[in-house]
Amino acid sequence: MACVSFPTCPLAMAEAERFLPEFVTEVEGIMQRRGVGDEHIVLRVTGCPNVCGRAMLAEIGLVGKAVGRYNLHLGGNREGTRIPRMYRENITQAEILGELDSLIGRWALERQQGEGFGDFAIRSGIIKPVLDPARDFYD
């Protein structure tokens, strides 16, 4: 899912709707190469921190910071009941794909049966869960 962002929204800081198709294709390529092409990951992109694209309810959430740059959030779940925490700040598409290539590779090798990518990121210690957003979102 993505919000409309550029060129529709006057608050846009980075591409979202127009960025998503190519980005999803890149992530699908990583998943194929890592042997989890039949799996799915909830991935959302939003053009600014208002988060209309619901990146704060995704296993992988991108929040636009500037043209071509995003905060990468990890650790949401497939049910959309856990907020993902920021993993890397203000990075480029190439840097995001590099991070995801490594992390999806770990997920492919180390996941438990039926374990989603976001749940794996929490269990394996890649990212701490957000338990009380009012207190620990920025920890």
Residue ranges that bind ligand SF4, judged by CB under 6 A: 3-5, 9, 11-12, 16, 46-48, 50-53
Phi-psi region of 51 (alpha: psi -120 to 50; beta: other; left: phi over 0): left
User: Shortest CA distance to 61 belongs to which of 75, 70, 73?
Assistant: 73
Least Cβ distance, residue 123 to ligand SF4 (angstroms): 30
Nearer Cβ to ligand SF4 (76/116)? 76
Least Cβ distance, residue 63 to ligand SF4 (angstroms): 8
Least Cβ distance, residue 113 to ligand SF4 (angstroms): 36
> Alpha helix locations (H) across 1-139?
20-33, 93-110, 117-123, 133-136
Least Cβ distance, residue 30 to ligand SF4 (angstroms): 25
Least Cβ distance, residue 101 to ligand SF4 (angstroms): 26
Strand 60-66, strand 69-74: pairing: antiparallel
Nearer Cβ to ligand SF4 (13/126)? 13
Nearer Cβ to ligand SF4 (48/108)? 48
Token duo for residue 32? 């194929």
**Are 76 and 57 within 8 A, CB to CB?**
yes
Nearer Cβ to ligand SF4 (50/124)? 50
**Are 97 and 34 within 8 A, CB to CB?**
no
Number of H helices, E strands in the chain: 4, 4
Nearer Cβ to ligand SF4 (65/111)? 65
